[in-house]
Amino acid sequence: MQKINPVKTEVRPTQKQNVLSEVSRLKGEGYRLAQMCSTKVEGGYEMTYTFGKGYDLLHLRFTVAPGDRVESISHIFPSAFFYENEIHDLFGVPIEFMTIDYHGGLYRTAEKYPFQ
Amino acid sequence: MSTRSVVPFGPHHPVLPEPIHLDLVLEDEKVVEAIPSIGFVHRGLEKLVEKKDFNEMVYVAERVCGICSFMHGMSYCSAVEHIMNVEIPPRAKYLRTVWCELSRLHSHLLWLGLLADGFGFESLFMQSWRLREKILDMSEASTGGRLISSVNKVGGELKDVDNAMLRSFVETLNRMEPEIREMAKTFLNDSAVRSRLEGVGVLSKEKAHSLGAVGPFLRASGVPFDVRTTGYLAYGDIDFEPVTSDAGDCYARTAVRINEIFQSINVIRQVVAKIPEGEVAVPVKGFPKGETMMRVEQPRGEALYYVKANGTKFLDRFRIRTPTFANIPPMLEMLKGSQLADVPMMILTIDPCISCTER
């Protein structure tokens, strides 16, 4: 019989100003970035940054108001720039200090960003 | 003194079946940086949750990609079922496992053909795709569709497959296995093929893990990460180990996928031997409310499906983190320091699926 790897999932609420320190701590604990996404909610956007360690997932969750600037985590997790540019292009959430900033040009579509 | 130049790669290139663009910064012939652009065929499928109800979204999910169509539809249904606390019947779980592994088989055989075409070995390309046709015949016989199967619904499967047909699939796979082994010898032993793949595009275990690589791209760098080992569907009842290699080069990625073909055949044999009788769907009432993140091991690696529902027939959010999206940042790292002539092979060996990425 196959040995089954158990999975733990946790949603950890945080505040926008604490994201960098939380993400740095997760990096130190051996997590890797699994995904980043944004969801439109009443009064802004709900941001979900997902980190994986083994088969466990941890979702860092915070909300931003329209126009609120979010600091990039791409200098902590280099792969984050791709997700952050996507969030910027699709939802218009301004993300600062990305290691590669496409300025709305990640998606080469005729439709102007953000797509929201 | 070296000369620095920027060479555009794509969006249309002989090795790319779908459009992606890379700006390759070169010092003479050496790549020092690669910057990707996507969005040439962006479809905005995730946004369709505003117009399609949660049942209609099954058909949208299935059309994210032709190769992973079954898995996209199945994973979306699994996510909604999880939110609604719906437990599908055991037979449905086993059938989903068979179709998942058929998807892996035809995806890997497709990729082997593209790889062979990429290094100009046309007869090997034709052999790979000839064998793939037999897998597509099985998909057609069991679902009615060769690529877009449309056999999933929230609550189970739209149709059953009788046991005689499942056994005939195993017999076909038994006959195919020696042919695939014969073909694999050329991929793994031919000196011309090895010269294009060995030592090319090396990604270390540490870089692959830290940059978020998934699937055969990650496992070929020595990380035994395979979401199927978490035991979803019928995988908890099946004996298998993640296929890995330590070399981390293009050859290792080819070897991992070839060995995963034999692994998938073995998984199907076990599933068909153990499949229980019974219903393949349960009735589902009401609308989903809540959120979940479902993960499955697609042919190209782990995919994440985020679904957020508000208790109405329309979802708040459906988001797919596809394997190729996760594999692009580590691919950029892999390209650094490579020779321009090796770039097409290196990009091919992550098995990029732009259709998935451009959901």
pLDDT tens readout for residues B156-198 = 999 999 999 999 999 999 999 999 999 999 999 999 999 999 9
CA distance B113 to chain A (A): 29
Beta carbons within 8 Å of B32's beta carbon, 6+ residues apart: B4, B25, B26, B336, B337
Terminal alpha carbon distance of chain A = 48
Classify B164 as helix, strand or coil: helix
Band of pLDDT at residue A20, cut at 50, 70 and 90:
very high
User: Which amino acid does the sequence have at B212?
Assistant: G
DSSP class of residue B315 equals E
Task: Please state, in angstroms and as integers, the Cα–Cα distance from residue B139 to each residue in A69, B114, B344, following that order.
Answer: 48, 21, 31
Q: Name the closest residue on chain B to residue A42, using Cα atoms.
A: B316
* Rounded Cα distance, B316 and B339, in Å: 46
Tell me which CATH code domain A9-96 carries.
Answer: 3.30.460.80
Contact between A78 and B211 using a beta-carbon 8 Å cutoff: yes
A interface test, pick of B12, B21, B25, B42 with most A CB neighbours within 10 Å:
B42
Query: Chain B residues with CB inside 8 Å of A57's CB?
Result: 293, 295
Contact between B235 and A48 using a beta-carbon 8 Å cutoff: no
Q: Is residue B80's pLDDT more than 80?
A: yes
CA distance B235 to chain A (A): 8
Q: Is residue A2's pLDDT more than 60?
A: no
User: Is the pTM value of this prediction over 0.90?
Assistant: yes
Q: Is A2 on the interface with B (CB under 8 A)?
A: yes
Residues 68-107 of A with CB under 8 A from B: 77-79, 81-82, 89, 100, 102, 105-107
**C-alpha B160: how far from chain center:** 24
Encoding tokens for residue A114? 């953000």
The pLDDT assigned to A3 comes to 63
Q: Which range has the top average pLDDT, A33-47, B26-40, B249-263?
A: B249-263
The pLDDT assigned to A115 comes to 63
Contact between B321 and A100 using a beta-carbon 8 Å cutoff: no
Partners of B306 in the β-ladder: B293, B319
Domain map (residue ranges) of chain A: 9-96
B44-313 to CATH, choices 1.10.645.10, 2.60.120.380, 1.10.3720.10, 3.40.50.2300: 1.10.645.10
